[in-house]
Structure 1
Amino acid sequence: MKRPSKAILIILCATLLVVSCSRKKDKFISRNFHAVATEFNTLYNGYNALEEGRLSLNEGYTDNYWEVLPIERMQIFDEIVLPGQSKNESFTRAEEKAVKAIQKHSMNIDGKEKNPQMDEAHLLLGKSRYFDQRFIPALEAFNYILYKYPASDKINQAKVWREKTNIRLDNDDLAIKNLKRLLYQEDLEGQDLADATSMLAQAYLNTKSVDSAITQLEIASNAAKSNDERGRYRFIQGQLYNKLGKKDSANMAFDKVIALNRKTPRIYMISAHIEKVKNFDYENGNKLELTELLTELQENRENRPFLDKIYHQIAEYHLNNQSDTLAIAYYNKSLRTNSQDKLLKARNYEILGDMNFDKSIYKAAGEYYDSTLGNLVLNSKPYRVIKRKRDNLEDVIYYETIAQANDSVLRLVNLPEEERLAYFESLVEKLKIQAEEEEEKKKKEEAAKRNAGLVTVNNTLGGQNPRGRAPNQATVFYFYNPTTVAYGKNEFVKIWGDRSLEDDWRWSDKAKSGGISNDINNNNVLASATEEELFDPQFYISKIPSEEKEIDSISKERNYAYYQLGLIYKEKFKEYELAKSKFQNLLKSNPEERLILPSKYNLYKIYEVLGENDEAEIAKNEIISTYPDSRYATILSSPELATERDENSPESLYETLYEQHENQEYADVISKSENYINVFDGEAIVPKFELLKATAIGRLYGYDAYNKAVKHIAVTYANTEEGQQAQNIEANILPKLINKDFVEDHEDVTNNYKIIFKFENPEMEQVLSFQKVLDDVLKNIKYYDLKSSVDVYNPNTVFVIVHGLKNAQVAKAFDQIIVEEDKNKIKEPYFAIASANYQIVQIHKNLDAYLNINNN
């Protein structure tokens, strides 16, 4: 009897407890039951999920120390989050817990909330939405607290979080107003004060009020309970002082970060040291002290994760100290650290590229700029700047390669037989030495392979247990066993070959520079040589061009490269000495007649810029006396006419040609453009003629020919305005024109039709005469406003077109709407076509395909 009674008693107590804990009764037990259940169950789990999400958010976020840090470490994503979606499951779980607490434990009785934990639940709801980047719903949650729980002890937190959300929504002015009012009305202390002032600082930063932001960060730094936050605020203060040019104040802020040492994340301390080094006064500062500091930073084992930044700053120090060799060494050290900071890597590559550029080593500079682009965000402003630099080098690298290669060949052509033989005998000796070294290396590798062994559990060397281990102990650590290390090295060599320690070591076909052996290995001649020919000087001598035509072709190609290099160095890079040497070398090399006069004129302009007035006067007089009828002579002899454009100037010729293009004289435009491109070769007007020619080609020969012509301009004149226009056409316009499919002749699809009269190989007088008759006929047609025009279809075909028809049936029965007295005047056959299809026919020149479809 006892057991049933006990069970009944338990059931009665449980029922009584449940009834007494109703959310509808304002009882002591009910209030405290729901408060305890909310705080220690639902909200506890919710805040755990929120903290888990924040930690994952922080782990995935990387600060950009090249700019002023944001107050709050939080990655904002551009993707739009749809209702029901989330970027982080932890925040979703936290939100669910908050909603569960509100739904199951809210005690709203007579319009008043009796559960004291509901304000905490709504705060958790707002925070979880905030970190999930759903700022509008988050704002609703925080506003609900302010509206519903004005006496809550969390009210100040809710106000701060509301303004954090407003800042994320770009309502900075509203946030500043509300936060200033909060700080004035409430006596905030501790973390509440730190949160309010730090957010106010962020709002000031967003509105470019740097001084005000610094003041608020000072308050936040002193009030913050977390040293992590304090270190961040102090570091941002230093950055802002630097932005204002107050280096002493910045250094004081950075010193406070450094003084925190291990109390704050080490990245702040290292970055503070680096920022102080950037502020170093190279004229009056103690360089020995700075060197010791930099040495200490790089040698400290705790700083290993930050060596990329430390090496970069050491390189910057040496660069500012005019120690270029040491700077280059440390920039490369920074790159070899496998840094995850892409901006730092881009900066290293860019500086190395600039250093090579300044030394006129353009090929190496181009390679460094390529690496820079690989570490920048595509189409960002820094990317476009470097891309422009790299594109400007494209032509230099191309023409320098041609000039150097052809110069080498021509030097060999001009060498006497004895000197040729001596040169190649020396070359063969070096090849033999190289071959012997490779053979010796191969033997050593084979010997190492024979001695290599696999590591085993009881692997020993010389009968001795490494490091005194007993035979039954665990496997020896890999790097303590010389046999295992040797085996690993041999396996690496067997798979990858002999690779040097450098970036992209996996690529075996990277371009190499320096050394005759590298030049030889890159020579295609070696690929066709047998082993016997490889070491025979006569084999190489036999490969030297001997025919006059071939030598002349090489010489012309080299001279044109010289001319282009002279123009590029003069116009793009303002490297006047380099440009002068190229033009002078060209004039000494028996150039073509068309290159002589522009080269002399460019030399004259270079002499003027360099202040070499005597040379400029000689060049001027030579041009005027030798080429009196040229444009250059006119410009030099009559400077006042330099700005006037006569009928033979490139600009006037272009305008005339453009008028011909407008008159559909496409064949003539193409022919004359080709002629002018040759005449004005090397001048700025050439890309304009090329683009005009491409347009005429497209109108006359269709899409495929136009596509080819545009791509030629985009590549050949990439750095000009016309080249960029061609690139835009290639990327954005040509893809829209590629479709060849005809639309259906249906009113739902198109309501614009044309009548086409086709003339094969006509005289233009005949076409114009027909158009005149047609216009007279069209005037007499009632109810329709029709007009005519003439279009060139291809070199052999011309269309006379009637415009203004809106109906397919009317268009196809065009002869029926002509008044009776005019019907005998129009005897030419015609066909009707929708305007959309006519456009396709003109673009792709596929009239036959259209007519076949309609005939079928």
Structure 2
Amino acid sequence: MNNYTKLSIKILISCLSIAIFSGCSTQKNNAKNRGLQNLSARYNYIYNSNVLLNTYQENLSQTHKDNYDNFLAVYIAPEQIDYSSTAPPQNSDKALDEITQKAQTIVAEKALSNYIDEAYILLGKTNFYKGNYFTATEYFDYTARTYKNNNKVYLNALTWKARSLMRLNNYDLAIKVLDTVYTTLDSVKSEKAEPLATLAQMSIDQLDYKKAITYLEAAIKESNQIQSRTRWPYILAQLYEHEKEYDASLKSYTKVENSNAPFEMYFNAKLSKIRINDLLNDQSSNRKQALLKLLKDDKNFDYTDQIYYEVAEDYYGDADYAKAEEYYKLSTSKSTINQYQKGLTYLKLADLNFKNLGNYVNAKLYYDSAANTLPKTYLGYDAILKKSQNLEYLTQRYQTIAKQDSLQMIAKLPEQAREKMLDEIFEPKKNSITNVKTVGNEKSSKINDPFKSRNNGAFYFSNTSAISTGFTDFKKKWGNRPLEDNWRQSLKSSAQVNQQNQASVIGTESSNDIKSTTVLDKTEKIKAYSLLLPLTAEQRSKSDQQIIEAYFEIASFYQQVLEDQEEATKVYEILLARYPQNNHLDAIYYSLYLGNTKRDLSKSESYKNMVLAKFPNSVYAKTILDPNFSAKQNALDVEVNNAYNAVFDKYEKKDFSSVIIGANEINQRFPGNSLQAQYDYLKAIAIGRTQNVDSLLTVFNKIITQHPNDQLINPLVKDHLAYINANLASFKARKIALIDFDATEPRFIAQQENSITVIKQEPLKIIDPVIPGPKKVIPDANVPIVNPPTPTQITAPNQPIVSPAVEILFSKAESNTYYYVIAVGDVTVSVSSSRFGVGQFNRGNFPGTGLKHQLEELDDDQLIYVGNFENLTDVRNYFEGITPQLPRIMKVPATKYTGFFITKDNFAKIKNRETLNRYIEFFKSNY
């Protein structure tokens, strides 16, 4: 019995061992194992994976938002993964993860099956749909190389490899791969649809639409999928329409309309059919009626904006710009869901105002709206930003004119009428009743146009934005002053303080005397704006000058940047009509002489004679008599600049007698040169260092007399004179006027112990006329540059839009410390004289602010930086003030320097030319 038991145990152990061995030998390459692995791989993994993948693709097509204003994508692909982001990938999906796991299981455990190639294809596709195109390319490339002899697998792998490369924008390599795909097509009898569709997408991307039509037609014939009955025919219709094959396009759109396409595709197909029928029948009015009839169908409610947009497009095509603008505006007002459509309509309104209506102020505002609404991936987004930024130049000046006109109008009123008007202006607005008007067959709300308040001639006080800006300006100048008598006084008598204390106590004890916040705000605003009114002759003159400068700069911008000579002429004539005597007459006459050469020869000749008769010594008269004068003048400026640097070297060495001789020689050789005021100033300082105060006063007064319009030296000399006259006894006691003069920091005004916040000032402008030269060639005629180019100022080429890497390196955050920087891209040139010019500008135009200029040297660049500015407004004001003066301040070629402002933190990140250039890109894109 025991022997039998032992034998039974041995037999059982042997059977178990055989079973275990058999189970562990599945990797043996025999027919049985191959059959088992093929069965398991096919039904447990491949089949289920394909079901999951098909479901994922269907869900993706349903959630994908198509842009019907462009060609639809032949196949849908997600965005590439942003590897710099710490956020989890957005394209991750449980289905994709499950497919990946199944495919990896086949590769790891089913090595003897016939489905390893399909497993690798699945791994490539899951990475493709996750947006991980680099990894997807590697999987497809490996599969294509490993299974080159299997034509179907080879073709499939190359097709998806090409798609991955296209998503990586590696079109050169993708084209080579697709060449192989094309030559391999004939080697297979089926499964040609996807390769053909990929070839069609590449042709669309390469703008070869005829070839795209051929490939897409073939792909539709080869496919039995849903996309071959809806999406691909719609794209084919778009391509036919683009190629003006309208009959074929109409046939394809009808096929989509009669299919079970999504409603949005159906609706757009119907819109397109209306458009094409209009083109075929040449009856635009019928199309408008057909479009407006669509509004009656409730199903089209969400597409009202597109219907109005199409109607506007029709009116635009008919050159009826007023009607086009009306319906474009209706489109924006009805756009509630499709933000892309809304942004596109804003862009159309902007282009309409810019190109057709000539309303550049409105155009700027619409470009702003388009930039805020359209995605940053929009093809023309960079150009929109540039247009918006540069048209701000016009908007600011039109607002200045409106503001000053309004202030002057109120100032002219009798006191009681003035008080009544201010009371009405600052009365809190009540909600106005919305008017209703009928457009087409639909009643719609009449939208108040916010842009009208900012047009030329608009009443300033109806513009709440402008009022807010002015109120802020008052606070910057006077501080947050309390509403009280004698508010200008910083130090008050004890009686005044007691009165105020008593008033405050009474105010806290008696609730009946407490005013509402609204009343206080209103009273404060009225008081603030009353102080801005030009009530005296001097104030009126300053207000007039602001209007003159604004008109002059607007006209110059139209003429030199926008190249709109007709509009420039209109503005110049408005300026002359309002101010027949102004400080720009020579430039205005010359510009009107040029502007009328092709329009009115008699007018042109009249203005030419005015220039020659009234301003015979001006650069304009010299240019009329000698067309090459401008080129000669530029060469002369270079020589005068170089000579100035030589004289300044002697000044730094304290060789003052040589400075006086050198300045006299240059002024004799080149009388009336562009830097004469600066030569005279160096000569004056040298005289002050060698002679008594009477001699110094004589030359200073001579500078004031000879250069009354100079904005760089004249303000500085006036400050010097004021300081000398205030301390004249002290100066009279000296044998030499400037005995303690520091050559690097000449100043006559009292030193300030603490830095003072820069007071906002109006941007300074060069009063000296600049000859409007020949029209400049702008790289993109639709993208104007910021400032009108001048013969002494070379416009830098357009910088590329800032990249994500730049955004990461530099911060947009506001700071308590800003610098203004002039970057000189050459370490071999001396910037001493240029720094001296910056100091002159600071002391003459921002006295008492504690501004200092310093030098930071990099390996390849020199940075002159001015600070400290406590906020963005102050540094921007300084930037706008100094920029027009830079050609006269800087004694290096204009192509070698760039001016910008920067926060202290960002400035610390500039270590070399690469980071400097990256910040300049950042600055131009954000400021």
1:451-530 correspondence to structure 2 within 5 Å? 518=462
User: Gaps spanning 5+ residues in structure 2: where?
Assistant: 1-7, 166-170, 434-444, 475-482, 484-517, 653-662, 664-674, 680-710, 715-764, 772-789, 796-820, 825-830, 840-852, 857-862, 868-874, 914-927
Q: In the superposition, relative to structure 1, how do residues 439 and 20 fare at CA in structure 2: closer, same or farther (>3 Å)?
A: closer
The one-letter code matched in structure 2 to 1:178 is: T
For the pair 1:567 / 2:556, whether they are aligned, the reply is: yes
Distance, in Å, in 1 between the alignment partners of 2:229 and 2:593 is: 64
2:189 to 176, 187, 190: 187
Distance, in Å, in 1 between the alignment partners of 2:520 and 2:351 is: 43
Please tell me the root mean square deviation across aligned C-alpha atoms, in Å.
5.4
Distance, in Å, in 1 between the alignment partners of 2:521 and 2:69 is: 59
For the pair 1:156 / 2:152, whether they are aligned, the reply is: yes
Q: In the superposition, relative to structure 1, how do residues 403 and 35 fare at CA in structure 2: closer, same or farther (>3 Å)?
A: same
Q: In the superposition, relative to structure 1, how do residues 558 and 314 fare at CA in structure 2: closer, same or farther (>3 Å)?
A: same
Larger radius of gyration: 1
Q: CA deviation at 1:230?
A: 3.1
2:607 to 599, 602, 619: 619
1:23-172 correspondence to structure 2 within 5 Å? 23-25=26-28, 30-51=33-54, 53-54=56-57, 57-58=60-61, 61-77=64-80, 79=82, 88-90=92-94, 91-107=96-112, 115-132=113-130, 133=133, 134-140=135-141, 142-143=143-144, 146-147=147-148, 150=150, 156=152, 159-169=155-165, 170=171, 171-172=173-174
Distance, in Å, in 2 between the alignment partners of 1:547 and 1:706 is: 41
Distance, in Å, in 2 between the alignment partners of 1:713 and 1:279 is: 56
Check conservation: 2:548, 2:582, Cα contact below 8 A.
no
Q: In the superposition, relative to structure 1, how do residues 732 and 586 fare at CA in structure 2: closer, same or farther (>3 Å)?
A: closer
Check conservation: 1:130, 1:138, Cα contact below 8 A.
no
Distance, in Å, in 2 between the alignment partners of 1:543 and 1:334 is: 41
The one-letter code matched in structure 2 to 1:180 is: Y
Q: In the superposition, relative to structure 1, how do residues 653 and 279 fare at CA in structure 2: closer, same or farther (>3 Å)?
A: farther
Distance, in Å, in 1 between the alignment partners of 2:905 and 2:770 is: 31
Check conservation: 1:512, 1:518, Cα contact below 8 A.
no
Q: CA deviation at 1:318?
A: 3.3
The one-letter code matched in structure 2 to 1:674 is: L
Distance, in Å, in 1 between the alignment partners of 2:530 and 2:180 is: 87
Distance, in Å, in 1 between the alignment partners of 2:68 and 2:886 is: 36
Structure 2-normalised TM-score? Answer: 0.58
Match of 2:346 in 1: 349
Match of 1:548 in 2: 537
Match of 1:229 in 2: 228
Match of 2:368 in 1: 370
Distance, in Å, in 1 between the alignment partners of 2:251 and 2:886 is: 50
Q: In the superposition, relative to structure 1, how do residues 716 and 50 fare at CA in structure 2: closer, same or farther (>3 Å)?
A: farther
Q: In the superposition, relative to structure 1, how do residues 697 and 308 fare at CA in structure 2: closer, same or farther (>3 Å)?
A: farther
Check conservation: 1:195, 1:220, Cα contact below 8 A.
yes
Distance, in Å, in 2 between the alignment partners of 1:570 and 1:394 is: 16
For the pair 1:291 / 2:288, whether they are aligned, the reply is: yes
Higher relative contact order (CA 8 A, sep 6+): 2
Match of 1:631 in 2: 619
Q: In the superposition, relative to structure 1, how do residues 120 and 595 fare at CA in structure 2: closer, same or farther (>3 Å)?
A: closer
The one-letter code matched in structure 1 to 2:49 is: G
1:381-408 Cα offsets, whole Å, 9 max, x none, are 6233223322332222222222222233
1:378-397 correspondence to structure 2 within 5 Å? 382-397=380-395
Match of 1:671 in 2: 678
Check conservation: 2:305, 2:330, Cα contact below 8 A.
yes
Check conservation: 2:99, 2:126, Cα contact below 8 A.
yes
Q: In the superposition, relative to structure 1, how do residues 67 and 157 fare at CA in structure 2: closer, same or farther (>3 Å)?
A: farther
For the pair 1:644 / 2:629, whether they are aligned, the reply is: yes
Match of 2:267 in 1: 270
Match of 2:782 in 1: none
Distance, in Å, in 1 between the alignment partners of 2:52 and 2:713 is: 75
Structure 1-normalised TM-score? Answer: 0.62
The one-letter code matched in structure 2 to 1:215 is: T
Match of 1:702 in 2: 854
Check conservation: 1:559, 1:586, Cα contact below 8 A.
yes
Check conservation: 1:559, 1:591, Cα contact below 8 A.
no
Q: In the superposition, relative to structure 1, how do residues 687 and 330 fare at CA in structure 2: closer, same or farther (>3 Å)?
A: same
Match of 1:586 in 2: 575
Check conservation: 1:298, 1:304, Cα contact below 8 A.
yes
Match of 1:849 in 2: none
Q: CA deviation at 1:51?
A: 4.1
Match of 2:199 in 1: 200
Distance, in Å, in 2 between the alignment partners of 1:285 and 1:515 is: 45
Match of 1:240 in 2: 239
Distance, in Å, in 2 between the alignment partners of 1:326 and 1:20 is: 82
1:62-105 Cα offsets, whole Å, 9 max, x none, are 434343333211124164599xx975254343222112123223
Per the alignment, in what secondary structure is the counterpart of residue 94 of structure 1?
helix
Match of 2:807 in 1: none
Q: In the superposition, relative to structure 1, how do residues 106 and 280 fare at CA in structure 2: closer, same or farther (>3 Å)?
A: same
State the number of aligned residues: 645
Q: In the superposition, relative to structure 1, how do residues 602 and 123 fare at CA in structure 2: closer, same or farther (>3 Å)?
A: closer
Distance, in Å, in 2 between the alignment partners of 1:721 and 1:166 is: 53
Match of 1:730 in 2: 900
1:405-484 correspondence to structure 2 within 5 Å? 405-412=403-410, 427=421, 438=430
For the pair 1:404 / 2:574, whether they are aligned, the reply is: no
Distance, in Å, in 2 between the alignment partners of 1:579 and 1:320 is: 27
Per the alignment, in what secondary structure is the counterpart of residue 730 of structure 1?
strand
The one-letter code matched in structure 2 to 1:106 is: A
Check conservation: 1:687, 1:720, Cα contact below 8 A.
no
Per the alignment, in what secondary structure is the counterpart of residue 594 of structure 1?
coil
For the pair 1:657 / 2:641, whether they are aligned, the reply is: yes
Distance, in Å, in 1 between the alignment partners of 2:390 and 2:884 is: 6
Q: In the superposition, relative to structure 1, how do residues 531 and 102 fare at CA in structure 2: closer, same or farther (>3 Å)?
A: closer
Per the alignment, in what secondary structure is the counterpart of residue 702 of structure 1?
strand
Check conservation: 1:172, 1:207, Cα contact below 8 A.
no
Q: CA deviation at 1:678?
A: 4.1
The one-letter code matched in structure 2 to 1:702 is: Q
Report the structure, 1 or 2, having the larger helix content: 1
Q: In the superposition, relative to structure 1, how do residues 140 and 566 fare at CA in structure 2: closer, same or farther (>3 Å)?
A: closer
The one-letter code matched in structure 2 to 1:628 is: P
Q: In the superposition, relative to structure 1, how do residues 24 and 585 fare at CA in structure 2: closer, same or farther (>3 Å)?
A: closer
Q: In the superposition, relative to structure 1, how do residues 201 and 421 fare at CA in structure 2: closer, same or farther (>3 Å)?
A: same
Match of 1:558 in 2: 547
Q: In the superposition, relative to structure 1, how do residues 156 and 307 fare at CA in structure 2: closer, same or farther (>3 Å)?
A: farther
Q: CA deviation at 1:351?
A: 2.0
Check conservation: 1:336, 1:503, Cα contact below 8 A.
no
Distance, in Å, in 2 between the alignment partners of 1:440 and 1:77 is: 49
Match of 1:178 in 2: 180
Check conservation: 1:362, 1:393, Cα contact below 8 A.
yes
Check conservation: 1:399, 1:561, Cα contact below 8 A.
yes
Q: CA deviation at 1:533?
A: 10
